[in-house]
Amino acid sequence: MRQLIATSFISLDGVVEAPGGEADYRNTGWSMNSVEFDPAAYELKGAEQGEATAMLLGRVSYQAFAPVWPSMDDQFPLYNAMPKYVLSTTLDDKDLIQNWGETTILRSVADVARLRAGEGGPISIHGSATLVRSLQEHHLIDRYNLLVFPVLLGEGKRLFSQESLDAQKLKLVDSQAYPNGVQKNVFDVVR
């Protein structure tokens, strides 16, 4: 069985929307604007690239990342080279970016469950808040890699589901606080 790892920049109040500067959100770019840059706080991102064997995205995140990440080979060489999966009911093969490697469209959470049940290494999920909430509700997330920023944003897309769910226990397996106030928290889902 493969491991599904949700990785997010998240505000202290749980917002994950537009950390890098995406348009149409009043606090866009908050991960860059809220703290001084500390390279140590982002070492988790390099570790994730080395650990993951595939990437899973929702449609919105795919459409945001696909035009940009292929040109950022100095920052994302391993991500750019690995297979990608996009959960979407609306995208077609003709909508996929051709210079970002092998990309497969999945049509349902059941397709994601089958992918997870197959052979292979960890699958990293970036951005994709709607996807992560759905996978959380279906008990398919195995690990959360979170960089928590010391900022309160109020409104915005949340990482975790607001649905009435049974408790999901988590085990903290790694954590660190950085001088700029960012905290790394890595949680495994207890099954």
pLDDT of res. 127: 85
Q: What is the pLDDT of residues 99-120, one digit of tens each?
A: 898 999 999 999 999 999 999 9
| Structural domain for 100, as ranges | 4-189
Q: Residue 93 belongs to a domain with what CATH number? A: 3.40.430.10
Question: How buried is residue 126: exposed, middle or buried, by Cβ count under 10 Å (0-12/13-18/19+)?
Answer: buried
pLDDT band with cut points at 50, 70 and 90 for residue 175? very high
Structure-model confidence comparison of residues 46 and 122, the more confident one: 122
- pLDDT digits over 62-109, tens only? 998 898 888 887 877 888 889 999 999 999 999 999 889 899 999 999
Contacts of 152 (CB under 8 A, 6+ apart): 11, 12, 13
Q: Across 16-106, where does the E strand assignment appear?
A: 54-58, 84-87, 103-106
3-class DSSP assignment, residue 55: strand
Report helix, strand or coil for 148. strand
Q: What is the Cα 161 distance to its own chain's centre?
A: 15
- pTM score of the predicted model: 0.93
Strand 183-189, strand 170-177: pairing:
antiparallel
Tally the domains of the chain. Answer: 1
